[in-house]
Amino acid sequence: MRVLRSLSLGLFVVVVLAVAGCSSTQPAQTYVTGDWHGNVEVPGQPLAIGVNFTTDGKGSIEIPAQNVSHRQLSAVRNDVDQVEFSIPEFPGQPAFKGKYDKASDSIKGDFTQSGKTLPLTLARGQVAGVARPQEPKPPWPYKSEDVSYRSGSITIAGTLTEPQTGGPHPAVLLITGSGAQDRNEEILGHKPFLLWADTLTRAGYAVLRTDDRGVGGTGGDLAAASYQDLTDDIGAGVAFLHGRSDIDGKRIGLLGHSEGGYLAPLYASRPGSGVAFAILQAGPAVSGADVLLEQNRLILTASGASPEAVAAQVGYISGLTSIIRNGDLGAAKIYAQQHNDSLPADQRASGETIDTLVTPYMAALINYDPAPALSALRVPVLAMYGTKDLQVPAAQSEGPMRSLLAADPDATVQVFDGLNHLMQPANTGLPSEYATIETTIDPQVLGYVTAWLTKRFPPQ
């Protein structure tokens, strides 16, 4: 549930976003210009960045590991004796101060954020992209088609991949985790849904992946959406697949990640859904409010927060979710803003971030109880978790998932040791670690799911 991390204000030490830039008035001949790159020396996980300075005194930043590209900087000074920039509208007031060193042809200085100072040396040249060895690249050995269809009043846009061989093919509809995601479910330079689509299509399945509401080619506003809206969107995708002669309408299933593991059973349990199977990757088996509380506790503890800080944050989340569950979103927004205002200035979230915490969509997530839908499933189900997942902890959901699926004649719950929320091999399991891991999805997971699916719904 990736949007849930936004409730844990200040967890990400060097997740940087930037907006409008401003100009410098230094003479052009004194400017440091062009592309520069270096590593912010975050202990244990150096973060590569690239900065571009222009002759008109502006600058932009790239952070490949965090999918930040050509974002404008503010308070830019690129004089040889004073090189500075800030990254506005983000907690911790990230900024750099340094100067050009002619002997080494580099810019040496300090990067500061949330009161912490880290050394940063910038050398000439562009920052290298993050290695993502699993990311599929064209040309594809299968058919790939951009498609669109209606869901109520909005248009949903996506990509359908199919084997080159004649159909009809069994099909899988992918359902993203929480927050506004594109069809590849791109996060921190990883494209897990592109990898799932490639893996399953090569194995003989058609795969449909789509942009969420308000993202890419899909209309609507996710923040205003209810779970009824989102399951209707799934139904529109299933209907689209049913309407194609190259798809086997009796073998259409769902693969949902994180919140998608809520929505897939919710739709599949509808009478006449037309869903033949469900694969749940890190799908919670307890309420959204319970997931929020536990993920905040685990992430803060793993980040080294004091017991007092953990208790304070969990208390805040408990209060916020209680107000939301009582149905008063106006009071919840006031509560969240008051809490934010009580924090030290360098730990406060932006007003935009606060606005995303209290919406009809977030209320739907917090209020959702997956038990009825999971208990009603009577199709093959695979639910899988990682022991290093701090966002949807296996220890919290594995047991309830087994109990809720007990009446299903073909239900499998699999726990993978050492994997995180994205099913990557992990060290700490912290979300801040995701970008530093080259693996997008552990190959054992790709193989396990493909084997499970092939056994039950073999492609032609």
In sequence order, what are the residues at sequence separation of 6 or more whose Cβ sits closer than 8 angstroms to the Cβ of residue 65? 47, 48, 130, 188, 189, 435, 436
**What pLDDT is attached to residue 2?**
32
Looking at the structure, do residues 391 and 269 belong to the same domain, yes or no? yes
**What pLDDT is attached to residue 47?**
86
* Of 92, 124, 156, the domain-final residue: 124
Q: How far apart are the first and last CA of the chain?
A: 35
Looking at the structure, do residues 164 and 274 belong to the same domain, yes or no? yes
The domain in which residue 67 lies consists of 18-124
In a domain, 134, yes or no: no
158-190 confidence digits (pLDDT tens):
999 999 998 899 999 999 999 999 999 999 889
**What pLDDT is attached to residue 373?**
98
For the packed helices 394-404 and 288-302, what is the interaxial angle rounded to 10 degrees?
150
In a domain, 6, yes or no: no
**What pLDDT is attached to residue 335?**
96
Return the closest-CA partner of residue 132 out of 188, 203, 208.
188
In a domain, 107, yes or no: yes
In a domain, 10, yes or no: no
Q: Domain tally for the chain?
A: 3
Looking at the structure, do residues 39 and 188 belong to the same domain, yes or no? no
Strands 106-113 and 59-63 turn out to be unpaired
Beta strands in 81-126 (DSSP E): 82-86, 95-101, 106-113, 116-124
* Of 364, 397, 426, the domain-final residue: 364
In a domain, 7, yes or no: no
pTM of whole model > 0.95? no
Distance of alpha carbon 352 from alpha carbon 123, whole angstroms: 34
Amino acid sitting at position 352? E
In a domain, 129, yes or no: no
Number of helical H runs and strand E runs in the chain: 11, 17
**What pLDDT is attached to residue 20?**
25
Q: What CATH number is associated with residue 416?
A: 3.40.50.1820
**What pLDDT is attached to residue 251?**
98
Q: Which stretches of the chain drop beneath a pLDDT of 70?
A: 1-30, 90-91
**What pLDDT is attached to residue 361?**
97
**What pLDDT is attached to residue 332?**
96
**What pLDDT is attached to residue 326?**
95
In a domain, 398, yes or no: yes
